[in-house]
Amino acid sequence: MIIIKAGKRHGRRIINHFYFYVCGSRTQVQLLLRHVSIFRKEK
């Protein structure tokens, strides 16, 4: 119950951080895609 209450209180803050990372600069997204592609190639 405490976790649910905290989630409701900080729900907007978590969503804002999520959108900030998702809608970040395209260069960051490209770097992340490069790291993911390299990680998949290693496997």
Kindly report, residue by residue over 1-43, the tens digit of the pLDDT: 455 555 566 667 766 666 666 666 667 777 778 878 877 776 6
Q: C-alpha dihedral over 22, 26, 32, 33, to 10 degrees?
A: 110
The pLDDT of residue 1: 45
